[in-house]
Chains A and B, each alone.
Chain A
Amino acid sequence: MASATEPPQQQGGWLEERLGLAAIRAFLAHKTVPVHAHTLWYYFGGITLFLFTIQVMTGTLLLLYYRPSPAEAYESVQFIVTRVQFGWLIRSIHSWSANLMILSAFIHMFSVVFLRAFRRPRELTWLSGIALLGLALAFGFSGYLLPWNTVSYFATKVGTDMAAAVPVVGHNMARFLRGGNDVGGATLTRFFGFHVAVLPGITTMLLLAHLALVQKHGMSSPRWAVEEYRRKGQSVPQMPFFPNFFLRELMAWYAALGVLGSLAAIFPWELGLKADPFAPAPAGIRPEWYFLAPFYTLKLIPSHVLVFEGELVGLAGFGLLALWWVALPFWAVDRKGVERTRWVTGAGVVLLAYLATFSALGYWR
């Protein structure tokens, strides 16, 4: 016989009483995903998240052997890929997954632009997503240095020197990033700290905010799909998130895992040569593919544009372009609230064309 102070056992058992699973089930039962000709693009946010979890898991494994100092970093990665069982695979998956995650994040971003999913009231979802893309690039930049090889050393020299070109605060920014006046051991320790502690902490918080916003506002349906069904006197059909969309998403993750595993096994990520601060930059040096467009642009800008130094002009151009892109939801509608559809599509196409063309030129020239 239960005492007076004990609540009666709820239906569903011990876990139900403690976790309130019925509420979660009810929540999942109400969440839906729009079904239309472009539903496919909804999967890329989930794939990006999936690849991020792969990064966390493989990164944690690499931490067991990696040593963040100029004397040991390269050798420890060499040890991982040559001596540790499956070390080559774990490192290769970490590197390939990082690249695929950024590719998937870019696809997700452009699909949001072309489907106009950033429209009111989803401006903050857009801003948090752009910030997450920035963090993914920061993960890429900081992680690139960690093996302490020639290419990563010079990429970091160039990248941090770009920060130094910012007027007024540039010198201090570059010193903050490098942990001193030049790229060296202090930079490696700092980048390691950013890569495994600072960035994951910020990313986790921002990711939760991004997912909460997606949850709050639901999945956006493109306006043309809404109009099309409205003309028929219907609303856009919906698919239950759980289990229908969730199982499809799992299949997409499985496919992504297949692509990732194949790439990592067939094309193991190279280690290159150990960084030597007193060796010249090798011919054919270039950054990771997602930094190729700005890299090639900087190659083309002459030493001086009017009275300004070329690198400052380039930096100002990238800054303005980034600002304009971040502010997309705010200029995508005019003062009367009418959407500037052509402007948005045009901007998306031009940016995509710039990134694709300049990345290709940066790779091959």
Chain B
Amino acid sequence: MEEPRRNLLRWLLGGGLSASLISFLYPAFKFMNPPDIPEASVNEVSAGKVQDLKPNTGKIVKFGSLPVLLVRTTETEWSAFSAVCTHLNCTVQYKESSHQIWCACHNGLYNLNGQVVSGPPPHPLEAYSVHIRGDEVVVSRRA
């Protein structure tokens, strides 16, 4: 009779302590997990005037919270891609000498279609659309 009672008390004490510990740790754990902050969806941004970007040059454009690389390849040809390297998240740049997109972090190279040419990136860069409205360059998300 004594032993089962002792066991029951052990279980109650152990269970109570474990439950207390979980009730302390659970809120702390949830607190450390950052909340989702909804951002206004951006579908189109103005990237400046046509004359601001010379042929065979590129620049980073703010697309909401994302960097987008806008490239003016010739007088009339434009392209835009997500500037986030698909390898480890660095920001890419346009390399004028080789007409390619380059990530300086791990030497990843993409062509002007956003396809991987060499290096460690596993996927192509996401492409964006470029429109000229008057003398304004507009970058938009592809449908």
Contacts and interface: CB of A to CB of B under 8 A. Distances in A.
Given A162-B88, A172-B33, A299-B106, A281 B93 contact: yes
A304 B104 CA distance: 19
A281 B33 contact: no
B105 interface: yes
B120 A302 contact: yes
A160 B60 CA distance: 22
Contacts of B34: 175-176, 178-180, 186
Contacts of B120: 298-299, 301-303, 310-311
B46 to A, nearest CB: 15
B119 A303 contact: yes
B93 to A, nearest CB: 3
A8 interface: no
Interface string A58-73: 0000000000000000
A304 B88 contact: no
Contact of B122 (A283, A284, A285, A309): A309
Interface in A275-330: 277-285, 295, 298-299, 301-304, 309-311
A283 B104 contact: yes
Interface residues of A, number: 34
B122 A279 contact: no
Contact of A281 (B32, B65, B91, B121): B91
Nearest to A155: B105
Most buried by A among B69, B88, B92, B103: B88
A180 B39 CA distance: 12
A182 interface: yes
B107 interface: yes
Interface string A252-282: 0000000000000000000000000111111
A277 B87 CA distance: 17
A281 B90 contact: yes
A158 B122 contact: no
A285 B88 contact: no
A186 B87 CA distance: 23
Nearest to A174: B89
A281 B103 contact: yes
Given A299-B120, A311-B120, A278 B89 contact: no
A295 B107 CA distance: 11
Interface string B59-74: 0101001010100000
Is chain B's binding surface mostly helix, strand, loop or mixed? loop
Interface string B89-101: 1111100000000
A154 interface: yes
A154 B91 contact: yes
A281 B89 CA distance: 10
A157 interface: yes
A277 B62 CA distance: 9
Contacts of B91: 154, 277-281
Contacts of B104: 280-285
A172 B36 CA distance: 12
B60 A280 contact: yes
Given A180-B37, A186-B34, A280 B92 contact: yes
B114 to A, nearest CB: 14
A158 B88 contact: yes
Contacts of A154: 90-91, 105
Given A154-B91, A278-B67, A311-B120, A298 B106 contact: yes
B90 A158 contact: yes
Contacts of A282: 104
Contact of B88 (A157, A278, A302): A157
B80 interface: no
A280 B32 contact: no
19 contacts: A154-B91, A158-B105, A158-B106, A162-B88, A176-B32, A176-B33, A179-B34, A180-B37, A279-B60, A280-B93, A281-B104, A282-B104, A284-B104, A295-B106, A298-B106, A299-B106, A301-B120, A302-B120, A303-B122
Given A303-B121, A309-B122, 10 more contacts: A162-B88, A175-B33, A178-B34, A180-B34, A280-B93, A281-B105, A303-B87, A303-B116, A303-B120, A310-B122
